[in-house]
């Protein structure tokens, strides 16, 4: 099964060390055979040989570290860490074992909205590796990835600590390039650092610089790492607008390298949905569905079902949308997907169009109950251990109240969404525009043309600002305005 490349470029830059001093020939042979199987990608077989190495010499630190690498490739990070612990117990100055244990902690985090305690442990181990080997470029690079996890433009205005983490990340990636000018993947690290800071133009410059050295990236980390850079640059372009042609081009490039990239298919589906090309989005979703059915993509990529259900809903194929909504909510019940009030609103809308008003009412009410819990926890994504996002929750609850025809509550929630809207776009989306547009729609449904027009004009004016660039939303708002009498 292929790993999806998401967000930052997560590249395991690992080193195999073979020791010989004081070792029996048999011990060396087993360790060598383990390395050979590791390099072939047969990690289970490699572990068998490392087990024999350790049976032959229980104090052979290199075998513990190498076995830890194999466990890490199998994503058995607890076992990997235990092996690195043993290697360091035997050889306290073993920089590579500190490095490898640091990577394992970062993966336990995982990189992203994970466990900050694990990321801190990873940074501490990478720092120890650097202390033992001040020219350890791979350690600086991965430590930079770790520092990148402690700030994000969603959290603006930044705390002093977040600014400090950004500066440390930039310093580490810069140090990598000082040590090795051909380590161009560090330019992508700098791109990620500025993307997370919210400086899109500067991020683009560094991604472009990294991709000037495609051959060097391929030599260093292979196609998966190169895909990660294209993905990261595409995500950065999408921050400007979800239909940015360069974002589409970058994700198409990812598919050239990896036709089984479900993540790229989902991004392209999202861009098509934003452009209201629902037939095109369905093609991407159905390709993803076939990958899931063939067992080559993660079956718990719930966005696949969310996007496809949304497309069917927009195309008026409500009977096809409902099964995808039900699949999505089965993942929610298993804890494999983040629940969304917006999805409940879409599903309730389908039931309304199908004439099943009681099911629609129950669906909207479930959405409201969910969002109530999320608001109590600080917002939709905060409830899942992520970023503060009250603006999303109020907007989604407003959609559900709107579906129920409870317009006073919907208006109140859309006004709150505007109040909490962050001072930046959220992946190419301005929730102030969305909430203002919805206020106009609510007043249209209430028959108050004057207020509807006022809110829609305000939404349009903001959507057309260069720094917002919500061209597709602006088109939708103009259509709504044409219907206001």
Return the domain boundaries, the chain.
Answer: 1-149
- pLDDT value at residue 418: 93
DSSP 8-state code for residue 383: G
In this structure, the chain runs to a length of: 485
Tokens of 140: 């600086």
- pLDDT value at residue 18: 40
pLDDT in tens, 57-85: 999 999 999 999 999 999 999 999 999 99
Tokens of 445: 């449904």
- pLDDT value at residue 241: 65
- pLDDT value at residue 453: 97
DSSP 8-state code for residue 12: -
- pLDDT value at residue 23: 46
Distances (CA, A) of 366 to 211, 323, 329, 359, 404: 46, 17, 12, 10, 12
Distance in angstroms (rounded) separating the CA atoms of residues 202 and 393? 31
- pLDDT value at residue 482: 95
Q: Which residue matches tokens 């609850």?
A: 397
Distance in angstroms (rounded) separating the CA atoms of residues 421 and 158? 16
- pLDDT value at residue 116: 84
Please state which CATH number belongs to domain 1-149. Answer: 1.25.40.10
pLDDT in tens, 290-327: 988 887 766 556 788 889 999 999 999 999 999 999 98
- pLDDT value at residue 364: 95
pLDDT in tens, 352-361: 999 999 999 9
- pLDDT value at residue 3: 32
Which of 366, 307, 365 shows the shortest CA–CA distance to 333? Answer: 366
> What are the residues facing 389 on neighbouring strands?
379
Please state whether the peptide bond connecting residue 94 to the residue before it is cis, i.e. omega within 30 degrees of 0: no
- pLDDT value at residue 168: 98
pTM assigned to the model: 0.79
- pLDDT value at residue 427: 62
- Segments of 121-245 assigned E as strands: none
Regions of the chain short of the pLDDT cut 70? 1-24, 109-114, 240-243, 297-301, 335-339, 379-388, 423-428, 485
- pLDDT value at residue 292: 84
Hey, how many other C-beta atoms are within 10 angstroms of the C-beta on 453? 17
- pLDDT value at residue 109: 63
Distance in angstroms (rounded) separating the CA atoms of residues 270 and 111? 23
């Amino acid at each position: 099964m292929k790993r999806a490349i998401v967000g930052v470029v997560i590249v395991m830059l690992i080193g195999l060390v073979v020791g010989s001093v004081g070792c029996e020939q048999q011990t060396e042979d087993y360790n060598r055979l383990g390395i050979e199987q590791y390099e072939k990608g047969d990690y289970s077989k490699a572990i068998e040989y490392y087990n024999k190495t350790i049976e032959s010499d229980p104090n052979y630190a290199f075998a513990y570290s190498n076995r830890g690498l194999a466990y890490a490739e199998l994503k058995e990070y607890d076992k990997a860490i235990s092996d690195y612990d043993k290697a360091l117990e035997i050889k306290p100055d073993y920089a590579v074992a500190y490095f490898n244990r640091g990577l394992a902690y970062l993966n336990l985090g995982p990189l992203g909205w994970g466990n900050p305690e694990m990321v801190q442990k990873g940074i501490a181990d990478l720092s120890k590796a650097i202390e033992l080997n001040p020219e350890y470029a791979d350690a600086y690079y991965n430590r930079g990835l770790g520092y990148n996890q402690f700030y994000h433009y969603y959290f603006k205005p930044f705390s002093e600590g977040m600014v400090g983490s950004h500066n440390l990340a930039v310093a580490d990636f810069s140090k990598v390039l000082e040590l090795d000018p051909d380590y161009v993947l560090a330019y992508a690290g700098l791109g990620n650092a500025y993307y997370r800071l919210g400086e899109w133009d500067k991020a683009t410059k560094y991604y472009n610089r990294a991709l000037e050295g495609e051959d060097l990236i391929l030599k260093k980390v292979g196609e998966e790492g190169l895909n990660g850079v294209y993905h990261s640059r595409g995500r950065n372009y999408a921050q400007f607008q979800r239909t940015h042609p360069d974002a589409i081009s970058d994700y198409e490039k990812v598919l050239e390298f990896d036709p089984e990239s479900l993540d790229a298919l989902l991004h392209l589906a999202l861009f098509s949905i934003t452009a209201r090309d629902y037939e095109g989005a369905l093609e991407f979703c159905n390709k993803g569905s076939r990958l899931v059915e063939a067992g080559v993509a993660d079956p718990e990529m719930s966005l696949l079902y969310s996007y496809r259900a949304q497309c069917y809903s927009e195309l008026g194929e409500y009977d096809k949308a409902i099964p995808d909504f039900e699949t999505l909510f089965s993942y929610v019940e298993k804890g494999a997907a983040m629940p969304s009030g917006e999805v409940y609103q879409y599903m309730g809308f389908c039931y309304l169009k199908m004439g099943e008003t009681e099911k629609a009412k129950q669906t909207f009410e479930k959405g409201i109950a969910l969002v109530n819990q999320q608001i109590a926890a600080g917002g939709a994504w905060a409830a899942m251990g992520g970023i503060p996002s009250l603006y999303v929750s109020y907007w989604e609850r407003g959609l559900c109240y709107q579906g129920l025809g409870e317009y006073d509550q919907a208006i109140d929630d859309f006004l709150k969404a505007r109040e909490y809207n962050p001072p930046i776009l959220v992946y190419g989306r301005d929730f102030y525009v969305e909430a203002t547009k919805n206020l106009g729609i609510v007043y249209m449904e209430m028959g108050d043309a004057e207020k509807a027009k006022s809110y829609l004009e305000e939404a349009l004016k903001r959507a057309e600002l260069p720094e917002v660039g919500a061209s597709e939303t602006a088109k939708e708002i103009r259509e709504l305005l044409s219907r206001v009498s």
